Amino acid sequence: MQIVILAAGRGTRMKDLTESVPKPMLEINGKPILAYKLESLPKEIDEVIFVIGYLGNKIQNFFGDSYAGKKISYVVQEELNGTGGAVNLTKELLKGDFLVMMGDDLYVKQDIEKILKNDLAVLGFQVDNPQQYGVIFLNENETLSEIIEKPDIVGPALANIGLYKLNKKFFEYSSVSIGKGEFGLPQTLALMAKDFPVQVQKATAWFPIGNPDDLKKAHEIVDTFI
């Protein structure tokens, strides 16, 4: 199976750390974030498609055309038009069911394996401060109803953490605009969920690396995600 890893952004909140390297290539204990992610992918994933942009050559030079036993290919997102725009660039390379993953978050291998078992799925993580996240709302049968960005609700709630199991029917839906010239993958998936059940799986752990303090903490907890 293929996985699309979104790694095009600069990561401006990292400040000087990303002046000469893209955010997903920042190192934790001497190894790039993306290397940890590829090494912890389940064996069912045999091909990685990187969506690259800012300093994308750094990613290409490090991983080449194979890494950790997995074939690697690349598409360039020249216009940063959101997660929906990024995934649409990979359409012609995809052969069937596929995963999508953010390039700078740490996930647990068992959670990736869990989501693989579904036809369509999104991974969520319980948070106490839902106003800071895109939040997953469920139907009565606990499938996906919608994903709302930074809702004014009281926690706990299930945050969308950017890991999806999709199929090529996804591309039959018009990408949903989220403003500022960007298109949202989660919003488009919520549109698809009106026609097909999208399972919601709960993550056991998740660590987003958004700023320099997160990167420092990652040095201490990365073993949890290997």
CATH label of the domain that carries residue 83? 3.90.550.10
29, two tokens = 């204990």
| Backbone torsions φ then ψ of 37, nearest 5 degrees | -65, -45
What mean pLDDT comes out for the span 119-142? Answer: 97
pLDDT digits (tens, 9 = 90+) for 143-202: 999 999 999 999 899 999 999 999 999 999 999 999 999 999 999 999 999 999 999 999
Report the sign of the C-alpha dihedral through residues 208, 210, 214, 218, in that order.
Answer: positive
Q: Are 68 and 109 in contact (CB under 8 A)?
A: no
User: Which two three-digit tokens encode residue 4?
Assistant: 């699309």
Has residue 205 got a pLDDT over 80?
yes
- Which one, of 12, 27, 16, 24, lies nearest residue 48 by Cα? 24
pLDDT at residue 78 greater than cutoff 90: yes
**Per-residue pLDDT at 10 exceeds 90:** no
Alpha-carbon dihedral sign for residues 128, 117, 184, 188 = negative
Residue 226 within any structural domain of the chain:
no
Kind and range of the H or E run holding 219: helix 212-221
Structure tokens at 194: 């009106």
Indicate whether 122 belongs to any domain.
yes
Residue 225 banded pLDDT, cuts 50, 70, 90 = confident
Question: Does the global pTM surpass 0.75?
Answer: yes
Q: Is residue 150 part of a domain?
A: yes
Provide the domain count of the chain: 1
Domain housing 8:
2-221
pLDDT in the model for residue 149:
95
18, part of any domain = yes
Determine the pLDDT at residue 226. 74
- Does the pLDDT of residue 84 top 80, yes or no? yes
Decide if 33 is inside a domain: yes
Stretch 203-220: mean pLDDT? 96
- The pLDDT tens digits of the residues spanning 18-77 come to 999 999 999 999 999 999 999 999 999 999 999 999 999 999 999 999 999 999 999 999
Pairing mode of beta strands 121-127, 199-202? parallel
Say what the alpha-carbon torsion angle 39, 224, 156, 100 is, to the nearest 10 degrees: 0
pLDDT at 220 over 80: yes
Q: In the predicted model, is pLDDT for residue 134 greater than 90?
A: yes
